Chain A
Amino acid sequence: MALYSDKVMDHFMNPRNVGEIPDADGAGEVGNPVCGDMMTFYIKVKDDRLADVKFKTFGCGAAIAVSSMVSEMAKGKTLDEAMRITNDSVAEELGGLPKNKMHCSNLGADALHAAIDNYRSKTKGAPAKELSGAGEGESKTCPFCDSELGVGADPICQSCQIEFEDCPECGKLASNNDTCCPHCGAKLKKE
């Protein structure tokens, strides 16, 4: 069995919409090469629709495939529709991702949404609300194996033996081993 589905491999080997838009209407960047993944999305907006979407990604096969899929899904959509692209819908379109790579799909949607927020803040001065990611009230699961995490201030995944903490910046889960948040790139203090 291969590591990735055929569709993921296709988007990884032949990514769509790679590049930059020099006169982009909005740009969004998430992650950090130190964390292992970084994505930058550029958008061109016409009549409230995404006329063009381009990206650049530093990261693994899944991260590149996710960026490519997000760009393809977003193109032609209205801004509101594009804001409703979720991590799950991207992973689903790709025919699934390995459990420990699900966080890559989070970054893809986040980067697109950041670009839209950037456009909106420039045009209306009011950034849209955070839409993606595990918000409060959701039960927490391990981003690597999807098992439910033990309750406590610092939840632990029993099967991966990884301790987690909440990122002080974005509130999402980061492993205790992380030097920076895998979601927003904020620096985490290390012992």
Chain B
Amino acid sequence: MSADKDNRLKINEIYMDHIAAAPVRREVADAMIPLLRDGFGNPQSVHGRGQAAAEVLARAREQVAALVGADPWDVIFTATASEANNLALKGVAPARKKKSNRIIISAIEHASVLNPAKTLGKDGYEIVLLPVDGLGVVPITRLKEELAKGAGVVSIMHANTEIGTIEPIEELAAACRERDVPMHSDGWGTAGVIPVNMATLGVSALTIAGQNFGGPPGAAALILPKGTPTRSLIEGGVQERGLRAGQENIPAIAGMGVAAELAAKELGANAARTKAVRDALLSGLPAAIDDVYVTGHPERRLPNHASFCVKYIEGEGMLLFLDQKGIRAASGSACTSKSLKGSHVLEAIGVETALAQGSIVFTMGPESRIEDVDTIISVMKPVIARLREMSPIYKRK
């Protein structure tokens, strides 16, 4: 059995950008291909093809629900996690406006939460950005203070994908329940990676995406228990309880279902494997190279996530050199973003702006190996030395 080998794209490639995009599992592709070839059918149709598609959809709904301990009815399939986040904010906030127009989110949310909130702010909602501590944790006391002033909806991500920190969602959600305020959590980084259970977390809504656990692009979901007043963002037919009109992407949803079932079975073993690689990198890189700092929480972090800031240099240069050696990583530096804006997450945890430019993020997958860490460190040493040699601020140390 070598699912790892199958997933490894190229020999000598070390792919550590799983949070941006991850390989689709072979079993997932195998389940999707027959549906793409001749599995067409509209689940709304009465005839045999339509009903066959409806069955595929129902099965996937069960598989996805099982991964997070939800009722299958609670699963609203969307195309992307961004769409699910938009629905959670722009769909739920207006339905709650009479109670309160305050929307509480953390300062380190993904753009697909921050920007809908910003838009709602222009429409007369009051947006409250909760600050985080230096490790990226939302302080429960601050949330309680803000909840006391009233809130329509709260959204705090389960784990931050730039710094890996896992938020104390159970505690935060309990505080929201006390005030009877629905809380949404973006589980992009966590579902299928660490145990995620709706009841344990105690949230009212959860975003999950199949891409993070071997599913295909084009399928994600908002877990939204029935009875949560919500406005549809895409109106039309009755699909997805009328909250997301439009014919379902059956092959992608089926793929997400298969991926969810496999992830639920293998989650523990996968997390243990990536955690070993993560820990070796988290301790190895700063030990091998001066002035390299870990960002995010040292323990309460995603098992597949290691992030750093390298002083005196800029992230994109590192990524390009690493890429030449087949090592794929990411950075939150201003130069790597299209808008040339620095990372709001690093700013929120208090990393000084110049240091934040040296951000580098490694996210592991099931195929990552402990030996990869030695390769990464041995490649990074001369790359960092070289870029520092070129840097006008290095000498001024």
Contacts and interface: CB of A to CB of B under 8 A. Distances in A.
Interface of A: 3-4, 9, 12-13, 15, 18, 20, 29, 33-40, 56-64, 100, 103, 144, 160, 162, 175, 177, 179, 182
A4 B390 CA distance: 20
B84 to A, nearest CB: 22
A9 to B, nearest CB: 8
Contact of B317 (A12, A29, A35, A40): A12
A162 B335 contact: no
B45 to A, nearest CB: 40
A5 to B, nearest CB: 13
B339 A36 contact: no
Contacts of B324: 13
B132 to A, nearest CB: 19
A36 B390 contact: no
A65 B263 CA distance: 44
Identify the 9 closest CB pairs spanning chains A and B, nearest first. Answer: A60-B335, A33-B354, A60-B316, A56-B392, A36-B334, A40-B392, A34-B353, A58-B391, A61-B320
Interface string B309-325: 00011101100110010
Contacts of B234: none
B21 to A, nearest CB: 16
A94 to B, nearest CB: 15
A20 B339 CA distance: 31
B78 interface: no
5 contacts: A3-B320, A33-B393, A62-B335, A63-B314, A177-B341
B50 interface: no
B389 interface: yes
Given A34-B354, A57-B391, A57-B392, A175 B339 contact: yes
Residue among A34, A37, A63, A103 facing the most chain B CB atoms (10 A cut-off)? A34
Nearest to A61: B320
Nearest to B390: A18
A56 B336 contact: no
A13 B340 CA distance: 22
Nearest to B347: A179
